[in-house]
Chains A and B, each alone.
Chain A
Amino acid sequence: NAGVTQTPKFRILKIGQSMTLQCTQDMNHNYMYWYRQDPGMGLKLIYYSVGAGITDKGEVPNGYNVSRSTTEDFPLRLELAAPSQTSVYFCASSSLPAVQFFGPGTRLTVL
């Protein structure tokens, strides 16, 4: 099992560009999450999903969108990238309460 995979690993965007961060899990987990982690800081929840077709906002959803058309995939869309979105983005999935499995992260820089 690959667990949670994320692509790309690194990306540099220009201000105003858009991109999609991909996340796929092969553990058949219903719950999936997107976090951002700023340098030296903790994790902030952007969006989460409790199953295919169901998503909800987390703590810092502004500037992002998500969709969940399948159990396996949970892409995160950045529209009109801003320097404040420079961060490391982690995707996670879970089936048990609070036992989240994290992907390796995507390091995004917006210049």
Chain B
Amino acid sequence: QQQVKQSPQSLIVQKGGISIINCAYENTAFDYFPWYQQFPGKGPALLIAIRPDVSEKKEGRFTISFNKSAKQFSLHIMDSQPGDSATYFCAASRGSNYQLIWGAGTKLIIKP
């Protein structure tokens, strides 16, 4: 119930391609779904986030798609660049509970 399942574990995409990372959850009480980006040797940093009343949110080349009925959300990176190579974590939280429930992470490699 508390888990957020993330896939794939690793992903290799050619430069200019679309990177897609998927997450699924069970707890319908979750109401905030952020994605964090972590470069090697650094701490994670918030990339983009969505609430369940919105089906899609776009910020530059990064888009979150949200499917409330399927309890799934995904991160799409358009025109992927080598600088996007990083580990991406999805997460979820419940209202005033400030504990994030984290996915296991996806290591993304963009090949030039």
Which residues of A come within 8 Å of B, CB atoms?
4, 31, 40-43, 45, 48, 50, 58, 90, 92, 94, 97-105
Nearest CB in chain B: distance from A39 CB, A:
11
Q: Give A104 to B98 CA distance when docked, in angstroms.
A: 21
Q: Are A97 and B104 in contact (CB under 8 A)?
A: no
Contact of A98 among B32, B41, B105, B107 (CB under 8 A): B32
Q: A43-B44, A103-B43, A104-B42 are in contact. Are A98 and B93 (CB under 8 A)?
A: yes
Nearest CB in chain B: distance from A66 CB, A:
15
Q: Are A105 and B99 in contact (CB under 8 A)?
A: no
Q: Are A42 and B95 in contact (CB under 8 A)?
A: no
Q: Are A99 and B43 in contact (CB under 8 A)?
A: no
The interface centre, meaning the residue of A92, A97, A98, A103 with most chain B CB atoms within 10 A of its CB, is A98
Q: Are B99 and A58 in contact (CB under 8 A)?
A: yes
Which residues of B come within 8 Å of A, CB atoms?
32, 34, 41-46, 49, 89, 91, 93, 95-96, 98-100, 102-105, 107
| Chain A minimum-CB-distance residue to B9 | A40
Q: Give A94 to B89 CA distance when docked, in angstroms.
A: 17
Q: Are A98 and B49 in contact (CB under 8 A)?
A: yes
Q: Give A68 to B91 CA distance when docked, in angstroms.
A: 26
A-B contact count (CB 8 A): 53
Q: Give A101 to B46 CA distance when docked, in angstroms.
A: 8
The interface centre, meaning the residue of A41, A42, A101 with most chain B CB atoms within 10 A of its CB, is A42
Q: Are B43 and A48 in contact (CB under 8 A)?
A: no
| Chain A minimum-CB-distance residue to B95 | A97
Nearest CB in chain A: distance from B105 CB, A:
5
- Closest 9 pairs between A and B when the two form their complex, measured CB to CB: A102-B43, A98-B93, A42-B104, A42-B105, A98-B32, A43-B102, A90-B43, A31-B98, A98-B34
Q: Give A4 to B46 CA distance when docked, in angstroms.
A: 14
Name 20 A/B residue pairs within 8 A (Cβ), A-sorted.
A4-B43, A40-B107, A41-B105, A42-B89, A42-B102, A42-B104, A45-B99, A48-B98, A48-B99, A90-B43, A92-B43, A94-B98, A97-B95, A97-B96, A98-B91, A98-B93, A98-B98, A99-B34, A100-B46, A102-B43
